[in-house]
Amino acid sequence: MREDPGLYDYWPYEGRPRIEWPDGARVAVWIAPNIEFYELAPPPNPHRTPWPRPIPDVPGYSYRDYGNRVGARRFAAVLDRYHVRASVSLSVAVCEMHPELIEMGVERDWEFFSHGIYNTRYSYGMTEEQEREIIRDAMATIEEHTGSPCAGYLAPSLTHTERTVDLFAEEGGIYTCDLFHDDQPTPLTVDSGARFVSIPYSLELNDSIVVVVTKVEPRRWADMIKRSFDRLYREGAASGTVLCIPVHPYQVAQPHRLAAFEEALDHITGHDDVWMATGREIAEWYIDHHWEDAVADIAAKQGGIPR
Amino acid sequence: MTLDRDYFEYPHRSYGMDHDRYPWEMLQDRAPVTWPEGATLAVWINVGLPYYPLDQSNDPFPPPHGMKTVYPDLRHYSLREYGHRVGVYRFFDALDASGLPVTFAVSARLAQRYPYLAERLAARPDEIACNGWSMNHPHHGDLDPSVEADLVERSLATLGEAVDRDIVGWLSPGKSQSGRTPDLLAARGVRYMADWVNDELPYSFATDHGSIVSMPLSSELADTTILVDSLHAVSEYVDQVTDAFDLLLAESAREGGRMLALSVHPWLLGQPHRIAAFEAILDLVGGRDDVWVATASDIVEAWEDQQPG
């Protein structure tokens, strides 16, 4: 074990080189639905039990299945109303099992990135070669079924090894959603030396955390999103910021929650100078326009406040 | 510890589900459903009357909303009993005033213990479904098959006798099933089960004894989930039911029939400071031409009439 992930240096929010998003936007907003598959009877992992109850865990399994059977299309209809594209965090087995969901996204020009094979197969305990195998599998599956290469990664069920980010970068990815340390992109130091960034995802606004862990009432969740947006929009006048709304169709598309999400989306899209983007677009823009300045600024601040 | 080779094998990674109980099919791709008299939204109010014994075993998991303290947990035992003694009679009054039918999901042991309540339930126009033997008798994957077969038989027979009718609906305690529960229910003639929450319409579920209808009873919108597990205010509970009702009603007008399934409990909503919320929900869903408030078995029947073959 090591003291820190070894992926980024300390970099204070104040005084960074200015980020300029396309068309003078103040804030880049991306919507990341997790389209997942949880297996009824996954093989055991010695480090984590997949279900709290003996298999079959009918409440847990059927709740997740709701997202694919009912929630996904209902959620897509809301994004359609606001002409917003999604960046799908995908359990890639959905490509083979439920290809209709992939078609739904492809015809809307959504991005798909890897969230592992299944959300019931954890990275814990994997050797480097085993983890490389699932990363390659996922990237190849996404490219084959969507026609576009996989650019981003969110580890399956947020299970990591020390090598996860390095391996994904080596295999050709350009961004990760696995770090929650910032409201702007961060250049990461990866073993391959490739240009690779962390893009703000969010656990603070993620429906899983808000609904399941902190049990916030849906309309209060909408308030949290709107307040986050308002602050990042204000700060984005000085230097571009990123707001991500990560959701799960089995949660957000429940009939008692979707109106709250729509209230937040209506608020956001009612503003000028907002870049409704995908994860890949944010990563590519940052790498193309801000990489050198950021890396130089980070280096200049490692010894203290530059004189 | 490292992982074996089989952790990287995916035997169900092909079109469809990872089991053979029902086919993969999105709600929006099915033939539109209609409800009687031109209604587009069916509302099923499921009133839970679960019995929580004091001698709870917590095997293999604690029943939801059961005993919590060191034995004897008089606090939670009697708070749940409040529903059977007081709350349910407030529910009867509210339902009589509204004229709306509901389904009562009753533990067999409760009906056996309290014949007065069983007779009152039996005399009402509402449906009575079985909520298993008691909350201390969960069905689960590690349960001995002969024990489970006896539980199903004993629960249906005891409840049926207490309320003098054949029981056609089933809700497992804590919605927990073994891999055999649906087969046992179908073999015993049960027409629908309410444990799987993966849909918003009835759908057909395969068993060893023909198909059974799965009737998804939302857990996320249950009074217990919102008020007890999430500690939301009772006004916020009504707000969420209203948001769900509005969304499904609008969707049903555009896309075809939908179903709103409300799980409510007299031990919880029957308290004096909460009963008005139940009455507000009855006001919300009642008295509309586009909404059909019905029992679960009536919804199953209307749905089955529209299925091919």
Average pLDDT over residues B111-140: 98
Residue in A50, A161, A135 with CA at minimum distance from that of residue B8:
A135
**Looking at the complex, does the CB of residue A73 fall below 8 Å from at least one CB of chain B?**
yes
Task: Mark which residues 23-82 of B lie under 8 Å from A by CB.
Answer: 24-29, 60-61
Among B3, B60, B197, beta carbon nearest to A54:
B60
Residue B303: DSSP 8-state: H
First to last CA, chain B: 53
Among A43, A54, A56, beta carbon nearest to B6:
A43
**Looking at the complex, does the CB of residue B219 fall below 8 Å from at least one CB of chain A?**
yes
Global model pTM greater than 0.90: yes
Do A58 and B24 lie within an 8 Å CB cutoff? no
C-alpha A55 chain-centroid distance: 29
Among A52, A97, A126, beta carbon nearest to B3:
A126
Within 8 A by CB and 6+ apart from A214, the residues are none
Query: From B225, which residue of chain A is nearest by alpha-carbon distance?
Result: A215
How many Å lie between the alpha carbon of B151 and the closest alpha carbon of chain A? 18
Do A54 and B239 lie within an 8 Å CB cutoff? no
**Looking at the complex, does the CB of residue B19 fall below 8 Å from at least one CB of chain A?**
yes
Task: Mark which residues 276-295 of A lie under 8 Å from B by CB.
Answer: none
pLDDT at B147: 98
Average pLDDT over residues B47-72: 97
Q: Which stretches does DSSP call E strand in chain A? A: 27-35, 87-90, 111-114, 152-153, 175-176, 186-187, 197-198, 241-247, 274-276
How many Å lie between the alpha carbon of B157 and the closest alpha carbon of chain A? 25
Rounded to an integer, what distance in angstroms lies between the CA atom of residue B285 and that of residue B271?
21
With beta carbons less than 8 A apart as the criterion, state whether A175 and A153 touch: yes
**Looking at the complex, does the CB of residue B230 fall below 8 Å from at least one CB of chain A?**
yes
Residue in B72, B74, B46 with CA at minimum distance from that of residue B224:
B46
Best probe of the A interface among B41, B220, B263, by most A CBs < 10 A, is: B220
Which amino acid is present at A24? G
How many Å lie between the alpha carbon of A17 and the closest alpha carbon of chain B? 43
The per-residue pLDDT of chain B, averaged, comes to 97
Do B247 and A130 lie within an 8 Å CB cutoff? no
pLDDT at A112: 99
Task: Mark which residues 155-184 of B lie under 8 Å from A by CB.
Answer: 172, 174-179
**Looking at the complex, does the CB of residue A255 fall below 8 Å from at least one CB of chain B?**
yes
Residue A219: DSSP 8-state: H
Rounded to an integer, what distance in angstroms lies between the CA atom of residue A65 and that of residue B271?
34
With beta carbons less than 8 A apart as the criterion, state whether A59 and B198 touch: no
Rounded to an integer, what distance in angstroms lies between the CA atom of residue A130 and that of residue A181?
28
pLDDT at B1: 73
pLDDT at B2: 84
Instruction: Give the pLDDT band (50/70/90) at residue B216.
Output: very high
pLDDT at B309 > cutoff 90: no
Within 8 A by CB and 6+ apart from A272, the residues are none
Number of A:B CB contacts under 8 A?
154
- B237-258 tens-digit pLDDT: 999 999 999 999 999 999 999 9
How many Å lie between the alpha carbon of A283 and the closest alpha carbon of chain B? 30
**Looking at the complex, does the CB of residue B96 fall below 8 Å from at least one CB of chain A?**
no
Residue in A149, A195, A147, A148 with CA at minimum distance from that of residue A170:
A195
**Looking at the complex, does the CB of residue B144 fall below 8 Å from at least one CB of chain A?**
no
Q: Is the peptide bond before A56 cis (omega within 30 degrees of 0)?
A: yes
User: Which chain B residues touch A37 with a CB distance below 8 Å?
Assistant: 18
pLDDT at A298: 98
- Coil/strand/helix, residue B81: helix
Rounded to an integer, what distance in angstroms lies between the CA atom of residue A159 and that of residue B292?
46
How many Å lie between the alpha carbon of B92 and the closest alpha carbon of chain A? 26
* Residue in the structure block whose two tokens are 């109010």: B45
Average pLDDT over residues B89-109: 98
Neighbouring C-beta atoms of residue A204, cutoff 10 Å: 13
CA dist B245 → A72, B239, B259, B272 (Å):
19, 10, 9, 25
Residue in B145, B149, B139, B116 with CA at minimum distance from that of residue B63:
B139
Do A117 and B13 lie within an 8 Å CB cutoff? yes
Tens of pLDDT, residue by residue, chain A (307 residues): 999 999 999 999 999 999 999 999 999 999 999 999 999 999 999 999 999 999 999 999 999 999 999 999 999 999 999 999 999 999 999 999 999 999 999 999 999 999 999 999 999 999 999 999 999 999 999 999 999 999 999 999 999 999 999 999 999 999 999 999 999 999 999 999 999 999 999 999 999 999 989 999 999 999 999 999 999 999 999 999 999 999 999 999 999 999 999 999 999 999 999 999 999 999 999 999 999 999 999 999 999 999 8
Structure tokens at B291: 């909404």
Rounded to an integer, what distance in angstroms lies between the CA atom of residue B144 and that of residue B287?
48
Q: Which stretches does DSSP call E strand in B26-164? A: 41-49, 103-106, 127-130
User: Which chain B residues touch A40 with a CB distance below 8 Å?
Assistant: 18-19
Best probe of the B interface among A55, A223, A256, by most B CBs < 10 A, is: A256
Looking at chain B, the whole-number percentage of residues with pLDDT higher than 70 is 100
**Looking at the complex, does the CB of residue A80 fall below 8 Å from at least one CB of chain B?**
no
pLDDT at A292: 98
Within 8 A by CB and 6+ apart from B78, the residues are none
Do B199 and A260 lie within an 8 Å CB cutoff? no
Does ipTM come in above 0.90? yes
Rounded to an integer, what distance in angstroms lies between the CA atom of residue B99 and that of residue B93?
10
Average pLDDT over residues B55-76: 96
